[in-house]
Structure formats: C-alpha cells, structure tokens
Structure 1
Amino acid sequence: MTAAPTIQAPRLGEPYLLTPGPLTTSFPVKQAMLRDWGSWDDDFRAMTQEMRDRLLAMLGAGADAFDCVPMQGSGSFSVEAMLGSFVPRDGKALVLANGAYGQRSAQTLAYLGRDYVLMDKGDYLPPRGDEVARILADDPAITHVVAIHCETSSGILNPVEEISEVVYGAGRKLLVDSMSAFGAIDLKVADVRYEAMVSSANKCIEGVPGFGFIIARKTELEAAKGNSHSLSLDVHAQWAHMNKTGQWRFTPPTHVVAAFLEALRAHEVEGGVAGRGARYRRNRDVMVDGMRALGFETLLKDRWLSPIIVTFFCPADPNFDFARFYELMKAKGFIIYPGKLTVVDSFRIGCIGQMDEHIMRQVVTAAKESLAAMGVSDATPPALALQERAKLAA
C-alpha cells in the first residue's frame, strides 16, 4: 500500500505558494540544500545518474528507448534547448498555442531562425486533432508539432494523446512542453507517442528552481548532433558528455539537484505519478467546489480543468479589487496568481506543491473572509465573463 504523504506547513511567516511553480516545498527538500557538493565528485555523479534513472522510470514500458538530459537554467532554457536541438535548421514546426507558453515557443523558434507556423486558439480553447490534421495535410513542409501539455495561462489540460495520434498518422514528429504537468499527469510512452518532452525541477516533482530536463528518444538525441544554435543549450552535446563522464558540461546547480533527488524519492513514496496526481486532483476539486459555493466561477468547464492551476473570474461587485484581495489572502498565508485574460478580469489558484485538501479548505475560508473584509457579499462574475465562457464552450 502507498504511504500517505506527509504535508508540512511552511515555517512561521512563510506563506503557501498557490502558483504553478515555484511552489511550496517540504522541509526535507529544503534541508537537502544545506550541504555543499563537488560537481566532479563521484557522489554527485551518482546523484545525477539516480535522478536521470528515476525520471526515465516515469515513462513506463518503452522507457529504454529514451534518455534524460538535465539542463541548467529555468524551464524556458530547456524548452529552447529542445526546440533548437530537435527541430533541424531546415525543418518547420507547427506550434499549437492556446496561451502564453505556446506563444513563447513560437517566439523562441523565431529567435532561433527556425521556420514555423502558429495555430493560435486564442487563450483558452484546446487544439483538437482534426484541426491539426488539416494543417498538416495542407503543409507538407511541417516536420514537427509542438504542443503544450498543460497551459497554465488558463489552467487548461490539452489533449496530447489525441494530438499525437494525428501527428504520427501524418508522418510527423511531436515535441511536448510538459513543464507544468509531468510528474502528476501520465505521459507514458506506451500511451502517447512523442520524440521529446521537457519539464522542470520546480513543478509537480516539488523541487526548487534551477534546472529543467529533456527526455528524448535516443535516436533523436543521436540525430541532433550539430543542430543546436547554442553552445550551452546543445542537448546532444550535454547528453554525450554526461554519458561519457557522468558530469554536466558546465557548473551544475548542485544544491538544486540534491533537493530534486529528495523530491523524487518523496514522489515515489507518495505513489508516483498516480499518487501525486490524485492529491492534486483532490486539491482542485475541494478548492473549486468551495470557491463556487462563494459565487466564484471558473473560466473553464470541468472537462478541461487541469489539476495544476485554476482560473477564476473576478467578481462583478464594485467593491472587489484584486490588488486588495491579493494582499488580504497573503496576510492569511496564501499567495495567489494574477490572471491573464484580456477580455475580463481574472485570477488563478494553483493546486500543486506541499498542500492537501485540508489546506485547500483553508484557502476557501481565507477567500470568504477576504471578500467580507472588502464588503463583497457575492463573488458572482459579470455577465460578460459568462458570455465569454459560453463562446469558449461553443
């Protein structure tokens, strides 16, 4: 039987981070950073190898065809490394965008001088397989499709399995940005075919910021030699050096790796992807039910709600002011996230990190008390927000 996770309150005065990463981490993860490590030392090389092995194990059956390449920097560094290494200089990518992170991939490709076409679904509709199939049929020059697993601009969980089927049905290759989903939502290679995916230390594994990682087919890693535009972001070079020496090519974030390895061990104890995902889904369901009881409405219908982060419309009540709401929530120990909607005002609440359903009930209570402090009796959104959601669902 899987052990129940031990959720630890932040230290006195330290708020919960209700964001999609960085997030609230456990004491053991923090404590792992209290020691210094030599990047060349055999102990640290063993830590790096254990980390890579544990990440690959999450892919399930077929993982032996893949390898894991950690990359220094924020998650966006690893996304750029993936795109610059696996999209050939004479290739062309179709970027599926429905929020800021799809747009960022397109911007990255533009910086890299890679040809691409953008399918922009606005901010909050999922790209669907039939739409992707039509674009691929009309443009034989497209070699790769770039999909965002969970678009945290809205909290939407995109249908990557459906997208993968049409991509490979058309003889193309899929690259997945699973930055905010990997570790809590399955991306097993027996279920979803892709050439490479990318994620980060400070998301659903519950580590701290400092590096990301690319998991790719070994055949793609071999073929990537010479593709990269960058010395430091060359995935093939990092992979080849790491497999030859056990070391990172350049100074690794040693303390962050130690923390991440501790987080990976806790992830396994919790039940792996299934256990972590179940806790996050329960967090979401308890929090959403409670917020709806106060009158708040979610941007997305339940079908598309991810267990990572949820977007809520701001109330129509003229007494509601997000800046004050934010400060009131922070004073109660919860840091929430601004929204990114362009038509109506919104905010977001994350479901990931060292939190469980009991903490989420406290979040709802804090929201209720904050509304009362502002003189807001009902959190119902303006009619325009509901009209916008109706259009999105159409």
Structure 2
Amino acid sequence: MNQPYLLLTPGPLSTSAAVKEAMQVDLSTWDQDYLAITEDIRQQLVALAQAKLDTYTTVLLQGSGSYGVEAVLNTVLPKKEQQAYGCLMIAINGAYGKRMAEMADRLQIQHVDLEVPETEPITLEMVQAFFKKHCEITHFAMIHCETTTGILNPIETIFPWIKAQNVTTIVDAMSSFGGIPIDVPTLGIDFLISSANKCIQGVPGFSFVIANCRQLENCQNRSTSVSLDLYAQYISFKEHPGKWRFTSPTHTVLAFQEALHELALEGGIEARHCRYHQNQAALVAGMQSLGYETILPTDYQSPIITTFKMPSDSFDFQTFYNILKRRHFVIYPGKTTKVPSFRIGTIGNVDGTQIATLLETIKTVQQYL
C-alpha cells in the first residue's frame, strides 16, 4: 500500500487506522444497533459541551458544516415575510462569517453585520459598541475559530454578555469543538455548530448542532426548507430515538463513534487541546527558524491552523505544495484577501514527531523554490 498523505489542513484531516476500519461495516438505517449508536453519539456530544440532557440536545444533520450553519439560520431566524420578528447580528472577521451573511441574504433574514479586519479578533468592546447602534438585534452569530487566518475569537467574554441582553446566541465552532474546551451552558450558547471531520477526528458526512432545547422548540414552522429543517430533524430524533429523517451516512457515523472513543482514550478535549497546542507551537518555532513569518500574533492565534506569509515575491506556492505532496504532506493555500500566504493545520491524527519531519522536509526542499 502507498504511504498515505498527512493532511495538515483544518478538515478533512488525517484519521487513525481504527477510524477508517470502522467504516468497513454495512448497516441499515433502521437497524436497532445503528439507532443505538446514533443515540449514544448524540448524548456524548452534549456531555462534551459540558451540558445536561434535560436542557440541551444534539441534532445530527446530513452534509458538511455549512449545511449545519444554514440549517440553524434557516430554522432559528424568522424570515422577512413571516410575522415573527427577528434581526440577526453577524460578527465577521473572515470568509466563514461572510458566508453566514450570504446565507442570511439568500434566506431573506434581516441582518446587520459587524465587520472587522480578518487579522484582528472580534472583541467584546466592538460588539457592545455595535449593539448600542442597533436596538433591533434579537439573534447573534459569530465564528469561534476563523480558519481564514487561524484566529481565535474570544467567545468566553462575548457570549455571556450577549446572552445577558436576552438575545439568542449562535456560534460556528466548526474548527474548534472537540479540540478546544467550550462550556456551552456557562457561556450562554444556544446553538453550537460543528462537523464530524474536524477536531473529533472523524470523516466527512454530517454536521451536528448542540442546541438549547427550549430555544429549539420555539422554532416550529420557521424553516422554509424541507431538508434543512433543524426542528423537524430534532422531532424525529425525539419521537424515534436514533432515527434520522432521511438516509443518513451510516459509514461516517460508525467512524465518528470510533473517533469519540479515541478522544476519550486520549484524555478528552483538554488533552487533545494540549496536543494541538504543542503541535502548533513546534510548527511556528520551526517555520520561524526557516525564515517564515506568521500573519497573526501569538495572543489570538488558535492551535488549529496557522497562516504564514509568502517569504518573497518570487515564492511559488504551487511548486512548494507539489513538492511537499510528493513527500506525503498536504498543506493549504492562503485565504486572506490582503496578504499572500499559505496555511498549515495542526489538528487531526498528528503528533510532534510528524511536525518535526515536516519541518525537516521543508528545510530540505527550500533549495527547489
């Protein structure tokens, strides 16, 4: 068998042999064993969010993380033609916040946007100042780890204040949940969205929403989509435990069950966060020794993915990418709009030894650039 690639990306990411092996079983979506697995996953995710099953639930949804985000906006927010009133504030400092705004436009959701430069964190002071200008806000959404740059926005200071304003809160924790501890009830988060192929270290196929039950139960008949109706999916799980409304990605679910088992064996989210942090610190130290600069300061850099400036005007990223790929390392192109850059992820089934090998490889191949 050929040597597998090491995916140094923000997801999909490198998974363990056991996660891959778990997918080698065919199960019916009506099978009692499969229904039990789905229910177990839902309950484990609530526990990882440090929440209780009497107040929070997990809704699984077929599709990528963006499907989960759009399902939440579509289900939770009233539309312009509906009688119930709602105005969504979106705090944006990267491409994924902008994607939320695009979704809101398509869904005909009234929204006001706080836009911050993509290399700066969104702060509580910015949010408070924006609130003073917009008394119509009823809902609030933002990205936790914005992988456009790898910036980590301080939800721990922002969300408790937002919740105190009697506003419904939504966080896209796509690239952070499972790799960074998040106490959902303490922070006052009503809807947290993530995906199977991120820090839990599963494979692509479904997203999930950890939701405040009381808030979700107020959303009946708001969805203008059949398949992206989060409330309907919740009712299906509630009335028929483990049963998705439509055909579910059974193999992905089995992989995710194994990934949750591996997370527990590692020591939980705190231990995984420590490994990711060590990976990222080693990567940055090594890259800086080779002459590469990060685009963000350490203060608000996440352990998820790091953006590096192109070292010179003549640096050809595609050549760099191709050489590394031939040596079984896959990195990411840059996504910043103002600074030429590239990105290297430090999550997934990756450890310090592999980061050290990557750095040695980069040192070796620089002569070809």
Counterparts in 2 of 1:1-394, with a 5 A limit? 12-60=2-50, 62=52, 64-89=54-79, 90-246=85-241, 247-316=243-312, 318=314, 320-374=315-369
Q: CA deviation at 1:63?
A: 5.3
Structure 1: 5+ residue stretches without partners: 1-10, 375-394
What's the secondary structure of 2:210's corresponding residue? Answer: strand
Q: CA deviation at 1:169?
A: 3.1
Q: 8 Å contact 1:137–1:170 — kept in the other structure?
A: no
Q: CA deviation at 1:61?
A: 5.0
Q: What letter is aligned with 1:104?
A: R
List structure 1 segments (4+ residues) > 3 angstroms apart after TM superposition: 61-64
Structure 2: 5+ residue stretches without partners: 80-84
Q: CA deviation at 1:270?
A: 0.5
User: For each residue in 1:198-253, what CA deviation from the matched residue of structure 2 results, as whole angstroms up to 9, or x when unmatched?
Assistant: 00000000000000001100101110111111111111110111111121000010
- TM-score w.r.t. length of structure 2: 0.96
Q: 8 Å contact 1:132–1:166 — kept in the other structure?
A: no
What's the secondary structure of 1:223's corresponding residue? Answer: coil
Which whole-Å CA distance do the structure 1 matches of 2:365 and 2:112 have between them? 45
Which whole-Å CA distance do the structure 2 matches of 1:220 and 1:144 have between them? 11
What's the secondary structure of 2:136's corresponding residue? Answer: coil
Q: CA deviation at 1:62?
A: 4.4
Query: Bigger shift: 309-318 or 45-54?
Result: 309-318
1:231–1:190: structure 2 CA closer, same or farther, 3 Å change rule?
Answer: closer
Aligned position for 2:82: none
Q: 8 Å contact 1:25–1:354 — kept in the other structure?
A: yes
Which whole-Å CA distance do the structure 2 matches of 1:98 and 1:30 have between them? 35
Which whole-Å CA distance do the structure 2 matches of 1:151 and 1:334 have between them? 23
Q: CA deviation at 1:109?
A: 0.6
Q: 8 Å contact 1:62–1:189 — kept in the other structure?
A: no
Which whole-Å CA distance do the structure 2 matches of 1:250 and 1:17 have between them? 31
Which whole-Å CA distance do the structure 2 matches of 1:206 and 1:257 have between them? 12
Which whole-Å CA distance do the structure 1 matches of 2:283 and 2:2 have between them? 23
Counting matched residue pairs gives 363
1:137–1:169: structure 2 CA closer, same or farther, 3 Å change rule?
Answer: farther
